[in-house]
Amino acid sequence: MAAAAVGVCANFEMMNRILDATGCPVPDSLHFVAGLLGITGHG
């Protein structure tokens, strides 16, 4: 289980850099998720 946790953390070390460096926002097709979570006005 610990190794799996390391894997998830390592993956997001990658993804965080990709997203920050490309400025890629959440696509329109996924805005409904924010609405489901109640964290924005989308959805």
Q: Which residues bind another protein (CB under 8 A)?
A: 1-30
Residue 15 CB, nearest distance to another protein (Å)?
A: 6
Q: What is the C-alpha separation between 32 and 14, in angstroms, rounded? A: 25
Instruction: Map residue 43 onto helix, strand or coil.
Output: coil
Residue 34 CB, nearest distance to another protein (Å)?
A: 12
Residue 38 CB, nearest distance to another protein (Å)?
A: 16
| Choice between 12 and 32, CB closer to another protein | 12
